[in-house]
Structures are given as structure tokens and as C-alpha cells.
Amino acid sequence: MSRLSIETPDKAQTVLSGLYRDMGRRISASQPGLCPVDMSLNFLRLCHAQTCGKCVPCRVGLGQLAVLIEHVLDRTATLETVDLIERTARVIADSADCAIGFEAANMVLSGVQGFREDYEEHVLHGRCICGLSHPVPCVSTCPAHVDIPGYIALVREGRYEDAVRLIRKDNPFPAVCAYVCEHPCEAQCRRRMVDDSVNICGLKRFAVDHSPDLPAPNRAPDTGKTVAVIGGGPGGLTAAYYLSLMGHTVTVYEQRPKLGGMLRYGIPDYRLPQQVLDRDINHILSAGVQVHTGVSVGQDISMEEIQRQYDAVYIAIGAHTDKKLGLEGEDTKNVLSAVELLRDVGEGRAPDFTGKRVCVVGGGNVSMDATRTALRLGAEQVTCVYRRRVEDMTALGEEIEEAMAEGCQILPLQAPARIEADSQGKVAALWTRPQLIGAYGRDGRPKPGDAAEQEFRIPCDYVIVAIGQAIEAKPFEPVGVSTVRGAIQADLTSAVPGVDNVFAGGDAVSGPATVIRAVAAGKVAAANIDSYLGFEHKIRCLVDIPPAHLTSTPPCGRVNLKNRHLTDYRGSFELLKQGMTPEEAAQESSRCLRCDHFGYGIFKGGRSTEW
């Protein structure tokens, strides 16, 4: 008999491990609108199956909690039952011997507290509060509700023009979004239950890259109404496009020399080439939108005058001013804001960082753009300094990985302390305080705190601050537009409360967000401004959608876009990401499960053909 042997998982364990992965994917692909009480019950059951059976609260308590929640769903409970669930869960959370028990109870507890009204509705009326507002997961999670299964089916058929036409019904920036959309649609793609989400964004890019430029559809007859749009970014231009198609006379006021807003002045060319942006803008302008560039509202023309001159006004100014660190030495020469840097590059006034060492402060997407741009401007060394851990950065994982792959350094857990200047008043170093990651805060993220370590000096020539943007709302205040915590106040219909014909949306209202959110806000504004002007124009697209294939394809890997690989990124702002090959696009589009046809889609209408 040997004293020890090497342990290998048996067959059952191997299969089970695979099921854990499948279940994890499946849970994260849950469609919006599920009943939180039923989900809680079944999470709890899963937890209970994990119990070792030793301690009472976990072995018995979790089971009893499940029985009680079952009563709630069966409408055999009273409001006291909900109290009993809460009391019991609290004791289990307090007294179970290990995390299997106390964390399970904590999940129930956060549910009873977080969605008690759902529990109560079940008890009192036997109903769920939640409900599916849109039955197709990708369409419902896309802020602009683009008909995704529709255009993927068109790509599969090789009908790229029609695919782009269909996208433009809900989003006049198909090309831009094909390159830089954060694609929230993919997060809950039902294909994740099979293998992985469909590469929706990549297929859109294939459609856009293979479709010729198309003129805008015919405008509705002239209404005689005039609308001013302040801000020529994605939100403003979306509203302008649809309002113009509806027959209104639309004028866009843009303070920069060119249209595009953050798309032109915030997103670097290696992610979004300017000619791609121009394709969308030219299409939008072909709908008859008038443009005044280089006009700053508040300086060149007053808001009062605009409000007087036009029947309706949409404020979509975005968030273009930078936030300050509030550090000692921040006004030292060569301290730049990321917004400023990216704007200068966009306008062709790129600084030369050749041979310089650059520190970027911040962990969001703008910080990654600044980091990678600094490298392309010739910097010898670029260090991104962030006070939390890499996994806490808000930038997309892909952006962080690419920045690192290109040779940028990420220095986590360093909080900027002060900026040291040299004798000429230029940046000499960034001093940071090492951080210790700690307890979770209210936002659900672990909070950093000062570590018991010495301050750290990072010698550098430039410091770029990328810790968020703010808006400049002063020029709009005279007509009654108000701001709270730096955001313009507007309701969910885009109307500015108390100001009759003024609407607002996009980053200026929501705070810095994504292109597709700005587009969605512009779409909402267009619809509501049209109603405000007394019309009910419909935006529709008459492209017919190919019928779904009878059954779905078996599990198949997702096609990801590849980056061009360069030995040195310095000086190159060329597009990095390569589109799919026709072979890849054909395979990838066949992975779509057509939730517009299968499942709830065909019952509740998988498609809205107009809005």
C-alpha cells in the first residue's frame, strides 16, 4: 500500500465542472424581466445543494427558507411569512459555520430587502411585478433597440445594404457603432446558453464595410417647424437626422470646427478612423440637416435667442470639460487633461512626446485612450496610474489588455499624491501613495486605502489626467435649464422640466456614457419633439427580414476580431482592428438563435417595424 497517491478528478467531477461553467454562462445570459423572487428561490436551492450538512443553519435553515419562499410563490403565505424569511435568513447569515451557509442567507437577505415589493405582490395578489418589456434579449439591452436579429439575418444572406438600412431605422451611426460600440447587446445574448455570445458588433462592422454609402431615405413633407440642436455629437446628430426625416427644418450648432463631438475629438483614430465617422455624418447630412460649425452657444449666440427663434431646441452638448485632481502641483506645466490631449490630436495639433515619459492618471476608457495615444505620440514610456486594482478599472478589459500588449504599463494601487516640478516649472515626477485594497463600499466595489508604505516617486515629463469629464451648462441657465451635480436636469422623455420648448439628453444629462446611449437619447428626443410639435411621424424601414432557419447550429466557437500586430506603435494612428473575413461572417451570423422567431419573440412580437 502506497503512502500517498496523486489525486485526479473522476469522471463525474469532470462532467460537473463543465456544468458549472455552463450554468455560470447561463445565469449571466438571463434575460431582463425575470421574477426576482423565483430566481432567489432557485439560487437558494443551488446553494442548499452545496451544503456539507454539518451545521444546522445551513443544512436545515436554507431548506426552510426555500419552503417559505415557495409559499410566497404559491400564494399560501402572509406578510408575516416575509418577516419570518427575513428573520431566519438573518440568523443563518449570523450563525452558519461557513460561507456556503452565510453567503446563501445573505443572498436571500439582500433580496428580501432589495425587492420586498416583489415578495409582497406575490403574497397579496399572486403576481410578479416584473415583466418582459421586450422579448428579444439583445434588442432589449441595446439602448437604441436596434433590430439585431434582423440585420444579422440580412448579413447571413449577404444583404449588407439592407442590413445597414435596417440599423439606420434606430441608429444613424451604424459605421461608428460597428467600430466602437460597447455592445451591451452581447452581454445577454441567448447564444451564451449554448456557447458564447454572437459577435454582434463584428457582424455589424462586416455589413458596414461591405455596404456602399447610401443616401438618406425621403423626408416627410415639410412641416414648417424649426428645431435647433445644440451639439453636433452622436446624440445631437441622431435627433437632427430623425427630426429632419420627419419633415422639420433642423439646424445644428457645433462649437468645434467639425461635427462628431467625442467621436471625432475623444476617440482616437486607431479605434475609429475619421473617414468612418464621416460616412455616417455624410449620410445624416444628406437628410437635409443644416449645420453651423464653430458657433458657441453663450458666446456667439445666446440661448434665449435660439429658444425664441426655433419651435423646439435639443441640448446635446455632451461632457467636454475635464475634472481636476485637486493635487498640489496640478497647475505645473505639462500637466494635461485627457480630453484636451485627445481633442488636440483630433484637431491635428498633436503634441510630440518623442523620448518623453508620460504618466496617465485614471482607470476608465478615456484613460486607456490617452495612454495608447501618448504611446503613439512617441512617448518612450507610458505609465497608467490607478488607485485601485486592474480588475477594478472601469475601462473595457479588452482596452486594458491591448494597452499593455502595446507596451504601456499599468501601475495599480497607487493614489496620486502630488506633482513635483523641476526648476523650470515643468513636471518632473508624479508622487503617489501606495494603496491597500480593502472592504467593499456601497457601490459594491472594494475600496482602496493608504497602505503602510513609503510614498512612491514616478519620474516623468508629462502627467495626463483622465479622471472624468464635466459639462458646461452656464449658457443654458438663463432660459431656466438647471443642473444637479453637474448634469443638466431633464426627464426620461428628454423634456427639460419647466422650460416649454427645450429638451436635453446625452452625456450632458446622464454624465459621460457611451455612443449608443447618446444615440438612444437622440432617438427619444426626436420622437418626443415631434409629438411636442403636434405630429406623429413614424420612422420605419421596409426591408423584409429573411425567415429564420428551422433549427439552430450546434455549439461553435465565437469569431473574435483580430488586431493588426505592429512591432512599434509609435507614430501609427492606423486602425488596429481587422474585420471578419467573408467566411468568418458567414459562420458567425449562422450562430444567431433568432430570438425574434423562436421563444417569446414570435409571441409578443420580435420586431418593432416603426417608432
Does residue 158 come out as left (phi exceeding 0), alpha (psi in the -120 to 50 range) or beta?
left
Binding residues for other proteins, how many (CB under 8 A)? 24
User: Nearer to other proteins by C-beta: 299 or 551?
Assistant: 551
Q: Do residues 71 and 80 touch, judged by C-beta distance below 8 A? A: no
Cα–Cα distances in angstroms (integers) from residue 180 to residues 261, 476, 516, in the given order = 14, 30, 9
Q: Which three cell numbers stand for residue 81?
A: 411569512
- In a 10 Å sphere around its CB, with 0-12 CB exposed, 13-18 middle and 19+ buried, how is residue 202 labelled? buried
CB of 31 to other proteins, least distance (A): 12
Decide if residue 547 touches other proteins (CB under 8 A): yes
Question: Closest distance between other proteins and the C-beta of residue 225, in Å?
Answer: 19
Q: Site for other proteins (CB under 8 A): which residue of 129, 193, 390, 541?
A: 129
Give the total residue count for the chain. Answer: 611
Q: Which stretch binds other proteins (CB under 8 A): 30-38, 171-179, 219-227, 424-432?
A: 30-38
Minimum distance, C-beta of residue 77 to other proteins, in the bound complex (Å): 10
112 forms part of the interface with other proteins (CB under 8 A)? no
Q: By CB under 8 A, is residue 2 in contact with other proteins?
A: no
Selected range binding other proteins among 14-22, 31-39, 227-235, 238-246, rule: CB under 8 A: 31-39
Q: Which of 29, 35, 382, 408 binds other proteins (CB under 8 A)?
A: 35
Q: Is residue 431 packed enough to be buried (19+ CB in 10 Å), middle (13-18) or exposed (0-12)?
A: middle
By the 8 A CB rule, do 180 and 271 touch?
A: yes
Report which of 284, 196, 184 is spatially closest to residue 233, judged by C-alpha positions.
284
Provide, rounded to whole angstroms, the least separation between the CB of residue 590 and other proteins. Answer: 13
Q: Which is nearer to other proteins, 42 or 581 (CB)?
A: 42
- 141 close to 32: Cβ distance less than 8 angstroms: yes
Among residues 333, 355, 354, 336, the alpha carbon closest in space to that of 424 is found at 333
What residues from 550 to 569 belong to the interface with other proteins (CB under 8 A)?
A: 550-552, 554
- Shortest distance (Å) from residue 92 CB to other proteins: 24
7 versus 80: smaller Cβ distance to other proteins: 80
Chosen residue from 9, 18, 126, 355 binding other proteins by CB under 8 A: 126
Phi/psi for 254 (5° steps) reads -130, 130
Site for other proteins in 423-452 (CB under 8 A): none
Segment 233-292, which members bind other proteins (CB under 8 A)?
A: none
Nearer to other proteins, 484 or 550 (CB): 550
The answer to whether 598 and 549 are in contact (CB under 8 A) is no
Query: How far does the chain reach from its first CA to its final CA, in angstroms?
Result: 76
Lookup result for grid cell 468568418: 584
CB 380 within 8 A of CB 356: yes
Residues numbered 579-608 forming contacts with other proteins, rule: CB under 8 A: 598, 602-603
Instruction: Pick between residue 33 and residue 63 the one whose CB is nearest to other proteins.
Output: 33
- Report, in Å, the least distance between residue 222 CB and other proteins: 20
Q: From residue 559, how far is each of 3, 153, 562 by CA, in Å?
A: 49, 17, 9
| Cβ nearer to other proteins, comparing 172 with 606 | 606
**Residue whose C-alpha is closest to residue 109's, from 62, 59, 49:** 62
DSSP 590: T
Of 29, 31, 37, 270, the residue at the interface with other proteins (CB under 8 A) is 37
Beta carbon of residue 207, minimum distance to other proteins (angstroms, whole number)? 25
Nearer to other proteins, 326 or 547 (CB): 547
- For residues 113-136, one letter each, b for 16 or more C-beta atoms within 10 angstroms of the residue's C-beta and e for the rest, the string is eebeebbebbbeeeebebeeebbb
Task: Considering the complex, state which of residue 30 and residue 95 has its C-beta at the smaller distance from other proteins.
Answer: 30
Give 412's DSSP letter.
-
CB nearer other proteins, residue 125 or residue 564: 125
Structural contact between residues 585 and 155, judged by C-beta atoms closer than 8 angstroms: yes
- For residues 261 and 173, is the Cβ–Cβ distance under 8 A? no
Whether the Cβ atoms of residue 248 and residue 225 lie closer than 8 Å to each other: yes
* Beta carbon nearer to other proteins, 23 or 91: 23
Of the pair 45, 389, the CB lying nearest other proteins is at 45
Which range in 144-152, 166-174, 311-319, 548-556 contacts other proteins by CB under 8 A? 548-556
- Measured from the CB atom, the residue of 135 and 235 that comes closer to other proteins is 135
Question: Which triple of cell numbers denotes residue 108?
Answer: 436571500
- DSSP state letter for 402: H
Q: Are 170 and 146 in contact (CB under 8 A)?
A: yes
Whether 427 and 419 have beta carbons less than 8 Å apart is answered as yes
Three-state SS for 55-122 is CHHHHHHHHHHHHHHHHHHHCCCCHHHHHHHHHHHHHHHHHCCCHHHHHHHHHHHHHHHHCHHHHHHH
Residue 429 grid cell: 515626477
27 is a site residue for other proteins (CB under 8 A): no
54, 87, 127, 457: which one contacts other proteins (CB under 8 A)?
A: 127
Cell reading at 609? 417595424
Q: Is 195 in the site for other proteins (CB under 8 A)?
A: no
In angstroms, give the least distance from the CB of 30 to other proteins: 12
- Closest to other proteins by CB, 82 or 92: 82
Cell of 111: 433580496
CB distance 502 to 479 below 8 Å: yes
Smallest distance from other proteins to CB 138, Å:
20
Residue 578 in the binding site for other proteins (CB under 8 A): no
Q: Which of 86, 121, 269, 406 binds other proteins (CB under 8 A)?
A: 121
**Least distance (Å) between residue 480 CB and other proteins:** 33
The phi, psi pair for 336, rounded to 5°, reads -120, 155
Question: Which listed residue (60, 107, 128, 193) binds other proteins by CB under 8 A?
Answer: 128
Cβ proximity to other proteins: between 274 and 552 the closer is 552
Task: Please report, as residue ranges, which positions from 52 to 111 form the binding site for other proteins (by CB under 8 A).
Answer: 73-76
Choices 118-126, 209-217, 219-227, 350-358 (CB under 8 A): range interacting with other proteins? 118-126
Closest CB to other proteins among residues 129, 396: 129
Which has the closest alpha carbon to 488: 319, 266, 320? Answer: 319
Binding residues for other proteins, rule: CB under 8 A, are: 34-35, 37-38, 42, 73-76, 121, 125-129, 131, 547, 550-552, 554, 598, 602-603
